[in-house]
Amino acid sequence: MLTIALPDLEVPALGFGTYGLPHDAVEATVRHAIEVGYRHIDTAQMYRNEAAVGRGIATSGIDRDEVFVTTKVWRDHAARDDVHRTARESLDRLGVGRIDLLLLHWPADDLVPMEETLTALTEVREAGITAHIGVSNFPAPMLDRAFDVAPIVTDQVEHHPYLAVDAIRQVLAERGGFLTAYSPIAKGRVADDPVLQEIGKQHDATPAQVALAYLLQRPDTAVIPRSSDPDRIAANFAAGDVRLSDDDLRRIDGLARGQRLIDPGFAPPWDPPEQRA
Ligand SMILES: NC(=O)c1ccc[n+]([C@@H]2O[C@H](COP(=O)([O-])OP(=O)(O)OC[C@H]3O[C@@H](n4cnc5c(N)ncnc54)[C@H](OP(=O)(O)O)[C@@H]3O)[C@@H](O)[C@H]2O)c1
Q: Which domains does the chain have, with CATH numbers?
A: 9-187+221-226 (3.20.20.100)
Give whole-number Cα distances, 167 to 74, 138, 149, 215, in Å.
25, 11, 19, 16
pLDDT, tens only, 58-95: 999 999 999 999 999 999 999 999 999 999 999 999 99
Residues of the chain with pLDDT under 50: none
- The whole-angstrom distance between residue 15's C-alpha and the CA centroid of its chain comes to 7
Distance CA 73, CA 80 (A): 11
Q: 41, 69, 183: which to mutate for ligand 1, most atoms within 8 A of CB?
A: 183
Which atom of ligand 1 is found nearest the CA of 184? 20
Please work out, in degrees rounded to the nearest 5, the angle formed at the alpha carbon of residue 194 by the alpha carbons of 189 and 195: 100
Q: Give me the pLDDT at residue 1, please.
A: 87
Q: Are 135 and 175 in contact (CB under 8 A)?
A: no
Which atom of ligand 1 is found nearest the CA of 232? 31
Q: Atom 20 of ligand 1 has which residue's CA nearest to it?
A: 183
CB neighbour list of residue 224: distance below 8 Å, 6 or more residues apart: 15, 16, 17, 40, 42, 156, 180, 181, 182, 184
Q: In the predicted model, what is the mean pLDDT of the chain?
A: 97
